[in-house]
Amino acid sequence: MKFEAKKLPESGQGKWIISIEGDEWKAFCDKGRNKALQEVQIPGFRKGKVPKEMALKSLSEVKVMNEAFRLAMPKAYDFAKEQKSDIQPWGTPAPAPTKISDKELVLEFIFDLKPEIKIENYKGLTGPKKTPVKAEKEEIAAEIKRYQERFVMEKVKEGDSVVIEEGDNVKFDFEGFMDGEPFQGGKGEDYQLVIGSKNFIPGFEEAMIGLALGVKSEISVTFPKDYQAENLAGKDAKFKLNIKEIKSRELPKADDELAKDLNIKDVNNYKELEKYVSVQIEKQKQTNERNVFVNQIIDLIREKSVIELPKSAIDKEVQTMRKEFEQKVIANKMTLKEYKKVTGMTDEDINKEIFGDAKKRLESYLITDEVRNKEKIEATQEEVDSKYKDLANQFGIDVEFLKKSVLQEGQVRSEIINEKIIDFIYSNNG
């Protein structure tokens, strides 16, 4: 194989050119022909069982070249990476054959060049404040209640005068109306709701208390002013309800028995459970506080940095984030058309917002990558092995299975490096 690298200054891109010829290319063509022969289909013969002479007659040279190209492409890419060229891709290169015949293959990998970035300072920055974290009593109680929920006992309420009480699990149908008209997303059937869980808008669950089983009822509520659907925010609405089932719920006591039943390592009594929960809450709050602080520092670095992003790179990131956005909309059981109707946003509005987020995401990546390069932050093999061991213990699976079938080493290494970068920025600023 022969290698050549070129910059394309006008587009902010680069390309690797790989040439394969002679016996080396002939070997790929022979393998491509054999693979293509296995795909030939002729009536009366099973796939892969067509006699070679017959298969060769129906096999086109284009098909052979295509198979040879597909076989050669990953080998050519690996070869290009081994050349350690100064011209390196930022992101995944797009392969394309520029010349292909039975004599040679000339293959190009087109890619964005890593943008130029100049950081004045990334240490000793002030402005954002580090906030001490503490697990509050209410937070500990709420988390322990979630543990109690694992062992909840439920019993269907029966009788002629059954009504909803605080803590009951209720199955019901509902339909919402605003100004006498039903509104999008305001209808549900066989919905399960624990009264007091605060899963519905304020006032809804409270209004259900006292409603009778099997009786169609109506309640009035007001949507919060900061409700996510702007067309409903701050508006009054009426809901028609049909109560189908009411279950009373009994939680186990928050005591030593609960602590033992949870089977948490080194937790044998209620006092140890409270301590364990407190530590977990503080760890999570510390992680959240650290991430907020680091993002604020990165924003300060961005303001004083020179970063020139090629439009092609931003466009690709916009496409990625657009797909992520659409998946979130679908996850909320809405179509994009319904989302636009509810929010009043157009495709242009959505794309404009995503464009800004995409640019910011890329710039943040470049800043953290520059910090990594300047500080020579890497992950040692010992750290990678330790991370695998921790994850295997956490999920209760074999370390080797985790390595081979679940999580590639590159992913683990990247996660460790990212954690180190965040720790470095957090420790050296504020």
Residue range 335-344, pLDDT digits in tens:
888 888 777 8
CA distance 257 to 250: 15
Which CATH number characterizes residue 244's domain?
3.10.50.40
Question: Residue 45: pLDDT band by 50, 70, 90 thresholds?
Answer: low
pTM above 0.75, yes or no: no
| Co-location of 245 and 341 in the same domain | no
One domain for residues 77 and 171: no
Q: Which residue has the higher pLDDT, 231 or 305?
A: 305
Q: What 3 state SS string does 238-285 have?
A: EEEEEEEEEEEEECCCCCHHHHHHHCCCCCCCHHHHHHHHHHHHHHHH
Please check whether residue 58 lies inside any domain of the structure: yes
Which domain CATH number covers 329?
1.10.3120
Q: What percent of the chain has pLDDT over 90?
A: 64
CB 240 within 8 A of CB 187: no
Q: Residue 55 burial (CB < 10 Å; 0-12/13-18/19+)?
A: buried
Report yes or no on 121 lying in a domain: no
User: Above 70 in pLDDT, residue 50?
Assistant: no
User: Do 402 and 333 belong to one domain?
Assistant: yes
Mark whether 167 and 190 lie in a shared domain: yes
**pLDDT (0 to 100) of residue 168:** 96
- Co-location of 219 and 343 in the same domain: no
Task: Give CA–CA dist 156/246, Å, rounded.
Answer: 6
User: Residue 120: inside a domain, yes or no?
Assistant: no
d(CA 16, CA 32): 23
pLDDT exceeds cutoff 70 at 411: yes
CATH number, domain of 73, equals 3.30.70.1050
* Position 199 in a domain: yes
User: Is 277 in the same domain as 239?
Assistant: no
Domain boundary among 220, 250, 280: 250
Residue 374 has pLDDT above 80, yes or no: yes
Q: How many residues does the chain have?
A: 430
In this structure, are 244 and 312 located in the same domain? no
For the chain, what is the mean pLDDT? 90
Of 51-55, 130-134, 278-282, 311-315, the range with the lowest mean pLDDT is 51-55
Instruction: Look at phi and psi of residue 208 and say left if phi exceeds 0, alpha if psi is from -120 to 50, else beta.
Output: alpha
244 and 384, same domain (yes or no): no
Q: What's the CA gap between 174 and 188, in Å, rounded? A: 5
* Closest C-alpha among 300, 298, 429, 428 to residue 361: 298
Domain that holds residue 246: 153-250
The two three-digit tokens of residue 253, written as one number: 């006591």
In a domain, 389, yes or no: yes
Q: Of 250, 281, 304, which one is at a domain's C-terminal end?
A: 250
pLDDT tens figures, 313-357: 888 899 999 999 999 888 877 788 888 877 788 889 998 999 999
Report, as an integer, the average pLDDT of 88-113.
Answer: 90
Looking at residue 57, what is its pLDDT? 73
Count of structural domains within the chain: 3
- Greatest mean pLDDT among 44-58, 85-99, 288-302, 307-321 lies in 288-302
The pLDDT of residue 54: 67
Residue 116 DSSP symbol: P
Domain check: are 419 and 394 in the same one? yes
Within-domain flag for 126: no
Among 25-29, 271-275, 312-316, 388-392, whose mean pLDDT is lowest? 312-316
Instruction: Express each pLDDT in 182-228 by its tens digit.
Output: 988 889 999 999 999 999 999 999 999 999 998 899 999 999 998 87
290 in the same domain as 210? no
Q: Which of 113, 145, 173 is the last residue of a domain?
A: 113
Same structural domain for residues 207 and 284? no
Instruction: Please report the pLDDT score of residue 252 as a whole number.
Output: 95
Residue 146: inside a domain: no
Could you tell me if 335 and 284 lie in one domain?
Answer: yes
- pLDDT on residue 13: 85
Task: Tell me whether residue 141 is in a domain.
Answer: no
Query: Could you tell me if 89 and 14 are in contact, meaning their C-beta atoms sit under 8 angstroms apart?
Result: yes
pLDDT at 223: 94
Residue 189, token pair as written in the block: 């059937």
Res 427 pLDDT > 70: yes
3-class DSSP state of 154: strand
DSSP 3-state of 32: helix
